[in-house]
Structure 1
Amino acid sequence: MPPAIETDSLHKAYGDATAVASLDLSIPSGEVYGFLGPNGAGKTTTMRMLTTLTRPTSGDAWVAGEHVSDRDAVVERIAYLPETPPVYEELTAREHLAYLADLRDLPPTDRERVDSLVERFGLADAAEDPIRTYSQGMRQKTALAGTVLQDPAVLFLDEPTSGLDPRAARTVQDLVAELAAEGRTVFLSSHVLSVVEELADTVGVLSDGRLVAEGAPAALTERAATGAERTLEDVFLDVTGGQTVDGVGSGG
C-alpha cells in the first residue's frame, strides 16, 4: 500500500519568513504519527497544507493516495480537527452531528451513526442540551465525534488536548487511542510530550519549521536524554517547560 501521508520537499514561506522548510515525510497507513514541537514550530502550517487549506510554496504532498492539489479528492478521504474546533453552539450534540451528516451529504447508513457516536463519545447525558452549556472537554468530544462521522481514512488532530483539564484530556486521549486501534491513520500534532509519547507509533520533532528528528517515542527520548543531539534536547525542553522528562534536560 502507498503511504497514507507522503511529502517531498514540502515548503511554505510567507515573504522572507519560512514556516516549513523542505519537509519529507512517509507515514504508513494505520499508523499514529505524532508531530511534536513548541508553539510556532510550523506544526499547524504543515497540517493546513496536508488538509488542502493552505497551498505550499513549493514541494509536493499526497494524502490517502491523492495529491493535495486535488482538493475534492483529498477532502473526501480525511477529517480535520483544528486546535479551536468549530461547533454550532445553539445546537445540541445530536443536532450538531445530524447537521454535519446532512452538510456532507452522507448516505443514510452513515447518518444512523449519530446516535452511536453520541453514546461512544460520552455525550448521551447532555445530548439534548445546547453545546453552549458544555464544558471545554465536552465541546472537544463533540467536535471529535464530528470528525469521525464521515469515517475518514486519515484523521488530522491539531492539539486535541489543548486547554483541557487533566481529566478531560485523558478522556480525549483514550478516544484517540480507540480510533487508532480501528486501523485509522492519525496525524496528531502537539506541544505536549506526554500526549505523543503515549499515542504515537512514530514521532517527528519539528523545530523552526524543520524536521530535526524522527523515530519511536522511547528512542527519541533516550537520544535527547544523552545530550548528544542539542537541537532535539532543546525542543524537548521547550515542550516540557524546561522540566526534565525521563531524564531529558538533566544533562549539559
Structure 2
Amino acid sequence: MEGTPAVRIRGITKSFGEVVALDGVDLDVATGEVHGLVGPNGAGKTTLLGLLLGLAVADSGRLEILGTPVGRTLAVPDGVAGFVDGPGLYPSLTARQNLSALAALRRYEAGGTVDIADALHQVGLTDVADDRVRGFSLGMRQRLGLAAALLTRPRLLVLDEPANGLDPAGKRHVHRVITGLAAEGTAVVLSSHRMDDLAALCSEVTILNTGRVVFSGPVSKLAAESGELEYRLVTSDPAAAQRLAAEAPGLRVVSSGDASQRRDADVVVRGPVPALDELVVRLVQAGVALRELGPVVPPLEAAFLALTENGTENATQSGARASDQSAQTDEENLS
C-alpha cells in the first residue's frame, strides 16, 4: 500500500515468565483501515493491543507506530488512543466530568481536540452526560471509553472488544464512529469475538492462535477459507427440496425435518457455493419456492474455527501463504 502504514510490526515476541504471549508476530495496518484482531482466549490479542498503546514492551522484534519506531520504553507517539480490558473511569464522577478530568490531565489543546459535548453526542451518551458512571451498564462504559479516545482526534485508535455489552442502539453508535474515523484517515485496530462486527467493520483481519499469526489478510479471503459450509433451506415443498438436494452433485443432505409430514420443514445441506447455486437453479426449475437460504454457521466464523481448531501447524502454513508476498516486500524495505 502507498504511504507509511499506521502500524508495522515485524517479528515481535513477548513472554511473561514461561508463557509465550507473542511469538514472531508480523502485522501491517494501513492509514484509514479498520483491522480486526481475533483469536481464542489466551491467543495474545490483549498483549498485542497493549504494545500498540504503550502499556507493554516487546522482548524482541520491530514496532513502528505512525511512522515512528517504538523502542524499549513504555511510550507511543502522539495520536494514539484507545483502551484494553475496558476503559479506566472514575465511578463517582459523571460522564461529562470523566471526560473533563481526562482532558485536564492530558492538557489537550483547544483546536486539536474534539469538544466534550460532541464526543458524548457521537457515542450516544448526551442524555446521560450528567449521570454518575457507577450506574452505567457495561455497554455504556464502553461507549464512554470510546468518547474519551475521541477527545484527541486519534490517528490510531486501539479498541479491545468495543461492542462488548452493547445493545443494538449502542452498537449502531459505535459502528458509526469507527467507520467515520476510518473514512477520515484514522487507522483502527480492534479485537472482537463477534464475527458479525468483523464483517460489518473490518477490511482486513488477523487471527492469532497461541501467540502466532495463523491468518492475515482481507476479510473476503478469510471467508473463502471456509471451503464447504452447511446451509439451511426453507422452501414451499420440503420433500421435493430434500430429493433435489440428494440428487445434486457436490452436495449432501446433512439433516432435515420430516418432509413427508411437515410442510414447513427445513433442509440442511453441506457443500461448496457453486454446488449450492446449482441446487437453487434446480429448485426454481422444479417450481419450488425458496423462502430462506443461509449458512448455519457464518463463513467468517467457520473459517475462524477451522484455522484455530484444526491444528496450529496447518493454520500457520495457511496464514504464511496469505502474507508471504507482503512480508518479502517489507523485508526488502527494512533491510
What's the TM-score, normalizing by structure 2?
A: 0.65
Which of 299, 308, 322 is the matching residue for 1:246?
299
Tell whether the 8 Å contact from 2:124 to 2:173 is kept in structure 1 after alignment. Answer: no
Aligned-residue offset at 1:80: 1.9
* Structure 1 residue 31 corresponds to structure 2 residue 33: yes
- Residue in 1 that maps onto 2:99: 97
- Residue in 1 that maps onto 2:76: 74
The 3 A distance-change label for structure 1 pair 72 and 208 is closer
Partner SS state of residue 89, structure 1: coil
1:1-252 → structure 2 map (5 Å cutoff)? 1-69=3-71, 74-110=76-112, 113-226=115-228, 244-246=297-299, 248=302
- 1:181-238 CA distances to partner (integer Å, 9 max, x unpaired)? 22210011112222112111111111111111112112211212349xxxxxxxxxxx
CA distance in 2, matches of 1:225, 1:6: 30
4+ residue runs of structure 1 moved beyond 4 angstroms? 70-73, 249-252
CA distance in 2, matches of 1:66, 1:22: 20
Q: Which amino acid aligns with 1:22?
A: G
Q: Which amino acid aligns with 1:218?
A: S
Partner SS state of residue 55, structure 1: coil
Aligned-residue offset at 1:122: 1.5
- 1:54-96 CA distances to partner (integer Å, 9 max, x unpaired)? 1111111011112222758624220022232111111111111
Q: Which amino acid aligns with 1:246?
A: P
- Structure number with bigger Rg: 2
Tell whether the 8 Å contact from 1:155 to 1:185 is kept in structure 2 after alignment. Answer: yes
Gap regions ≥5 residues in structure 2: 230-295, 311-335
Q: Which has the higher contact order (CA 8 A, sep 6+)?
A: 1
Identity of aligned residues (%): 35
Tell whether the 8 Å contact from 2:54 to 2:74 is kept in structure 1 after alignment. Answer: no
Tell whether the 8 Å contact from 2:50 to 2:84 is kept in structure 1 after alignment. Answer: no
Aligned-residue offset at 1:115: 1.6
CA distance in 1, matches of 2:86, 2:9: 25
Tell whether the 8 Å contact from 2:32 to 2:187 is kept in structure 1 after alignment. Answer: yes
The 3 A distance-change label for structure 1 pair 153 and 72 is farther
CA distance in 2, matches of 1:43, 1:86: 19
Moved more, 197-206 or 106-115: 106-115
Tell whether the 8 Å contact from 2:139 to 2:164 is kept in structure 1 after alignment. Answer: no
- 1:156-190 CA distances to partner (integer Å, 9 max, x unpaired)? 01111123345433432333222222221001111
CA distance in 1, matches of 2:85, 2:169: 18
Partner SS state of residue 111, structure 2: helix
Tell whether the 8 Å contact from 1:83 to 1:160 is kept in structure 2 after alignment. Answer: no
Tell whether the 8 Å contact from 2:7 to 2:64 is kept in structure 1 after alignment. Answer: yes
Aligned-residue offset at 1:52: 1.7
Aligned residues: 237
What's the TM-score, normalizing by structure 1?
A: 0.85
CA distance in 2, matches of 1:112, 1:28: 23
Tell whether the 8 Å contact from 2:142 to 2:164 is kept in structure 1 after alignment. Answer: no
CA distance in 2, matches of 1:52, 1:137: 25
CA distance in 2, matches of 1:28, 1:206: 19
Q: Which amino acid aligns with 2:217?
A: G
CA distance in 1, matches of 2:73, 2:57: 10
CA distance in 1, matches of 2:135, 2:170: 16
Q: Which amino acid aligns with 2:33?
A: E
Tell whether the 8 Å contact from 1:50 to 1:68 is kept in structure 2 after alignment. Answer: no
The 3 A distance-change label for structure 1 pair 102 and 71 is farther
CA distance in 2, matches of 1:223, 1:98: 46
Tell whether the 8 Å contact from 1:81 to 1:143 is kept in structure 2 after alignment. Answer: yes
